[in-house]
Amino acid sequence: MPHLVMPPRARERFARTARRLVVAVAVRVLDRLGPAALPPAVELAPAAVPAPVVAEPTLAAAPKLFAVDELPPLEVIDAAAVAFDLAGEAARAGDRGKRKARKLLDRLPDGLYGRWMVERVPSAKTTPDLEQIRADYTRAGLGEVPMRDVAPTLRVTIAVAEPMLAVAA
């Protein structure tokens, strides 16, 4: 309860330190229990299946799921879920901080500001120009641009217990 009487900045530092502590503990638990508690991956022999005539879009390769008898103990799963949740919260907090700082930094002209150099450099990343690809497909009479689904997103949330319904006697 000491965080209730702290000034806002101290409260934020306290919460950040507490999150780091919980993540560190969860990681330690996973390091100790994880590899030893997890069963070895089972290699399945590929079945002889004829290749499909028309290739359908597929999702990105998903990890192999545990069989029911291979599931790790609940403590290991709980520690992994806590670490996942706290790391996600830390990432979101970091993203919020970066967006807030960018509002100011994006408006600065290139130059040296104290010990910080602000400059804009061209990116080495490229992305397909979908408008041009659509135009090329239309011009060549190829129809719609083929698209595929992306891999599903892993979402981990705390399960809330369903309220007990009163049974009328």
Domain residue ranges in the chain: 72-106
**Rg, the chain, Cα only:** 25
What are φ and ψ of residue 117, in 5° steps? Answer: -100, 125
Q: Is the pLDDT of residue 39 over 90?
A: no
Name residue, tokens 């990681």. Answer: 27
Burial 68-106 (b: 16+ CB within 10 A, else e): eeeebeeebeebbebbebbeeeeeeeeeeeeeeeeeeee
Pairing between strand 116-118 and 111-113? Answer: antiparallel
Query: Which structure tokens are listed for 77?
Result: 């799963």
Q: What percent of the chain has pLDDT over 70?
A: 71
Average pLDDT for residues 94-119, to the nearest whole number? 93
What's this model's pTM, rounded to 2 decimal places?
0.48
Residue type, 85: D
Q: Is the pLDDT of residue 29 over 60?
A: yes
Q: Report which of residues 90 and 61 the model is more confident about.
A: 90
What are φ and ψ of residue 22, in 5° steps? Answer: -65, -40
Q: Report which of residues 40 and 10 the model is more confident about.
A: 10
